[in-house]
Amino acid sequence: MRALLVVNPKATTTGARTRDVLIHALASDLKLEVVNTEYRGHARDAARRAADGGEVELVVALGGDGTVNEVVNGLLHDGPADGLPRLAVVPGGSTNVFARALGLPNDAVEATGVLLDALREGRERAVGLGLVSGTPGTEDEGVPARWFTFCAGLGFDAGVVGRVEQQRVRGKRSTHGLYVRQMMRQFVGERNRRHGTITLSEPGGEPMSELVLAIVCNTSPWTFFGNKPVYASPEASFDTGLDLLALSRLSPAAVARHATQLLRSTPERGPRGKHVTALHDLTDFTLQSQAPLPFQVDGDHLGLRTSATFTGVRRALRVIV
């Protein structure tokens, strides 16, 4: 099988020696081409060339969720289609939500072993993905569409992601403590925590307004706190549409309550309460805000947005598992 391995050399949990071992293991079973990413968007460009060329059967992403997201967007730049290369993932980031949601080990060496076994046995599955684009008739109308594998967010959680990214650019390590500190700083600086500016609209439904934050999930768990899975939308699945968790208040008491609920969440129970909106298996909906808010996709902060239109696309891509 002809395969392309896209490697993020800055992946936080795989050193050069480990990557060499993994490349050697994959090359023993595959006709392997290796691309080391050198700039933001390089993984997307490499995967797009593989999809356009028609000769590569498999694209392997070695890196974190950001690398996986770029590869997915490269493969699907013209949308889902028969004959696209399969996707495989070797986790190399700090969290690796997509890989772990697929049931892969969080260790890169173990995951490579699982991948090779899956290739020999022909194990793969079709997964649904989320697609977000600019909303027609708004100032974000021209924003390019973007696929996401596990989550997107508008408002508070995206602001935390942006703050963490800023700290990492300054040389800080991605730790749980870093996220907690940035969450507290985001809360202190949150202007709209008492009166939300987000409105949710879906075809045929009544709009829901005055939301403070909205988290869109394509799978469950939403993230991991170390080895502990965190379930924002426990019913979310690669086999259904999109799920949404929205909050209409972020008072100190509400933040403490919902943070506790998230840390205690299970595959059967997520956040709940008077100011919680939880929706399951959505195909099309739009989030619009009266004020620009932080926006993130798969943990990648994309700046400020006032609107975003979401589509859940079933069976969008085939993945080796």
Using pLDDT thresholds of 50, 70 and 90, give the confidence band for residue 54: very high
pLDDT for residue 295 is more than 70: yes
Predicted local distance difference test score (pLDDT) of residue 249: 87
At residue 313, the pLDDT reads 98
The whole-number average pLDDT for the span 68-90 is 97
pLDDT in tens, 132-180: 999 999 999 999 999 999 999 999 889 888 888 888 778 887 777 777 8
Q: Which residues, 6+ apart, have CB-to-CB distance to 186 below 8 Å?
A: 156, 159, 160, 163
3-state secondary structure of 313: strand
- On the question of pLDDT at 3 being above 70, the answer is yes
Q: One-letter amino acid identity for 306?
A: T
**Kind plus residue range of the DSSP H or E element containing 126:** strand 124-133
CA end-to-end span of the chain: 16
Contacts of 236 (CB under 8 A, 6+ apart): 217, 218, 219, 220, 222, 242, 243, 280
Query: pLDDT value at position 194?
Result: 64
**Cis before 105? omega within 30:** no
Residue 11 contacts residue 89 (beta carbons within 8 Å): no
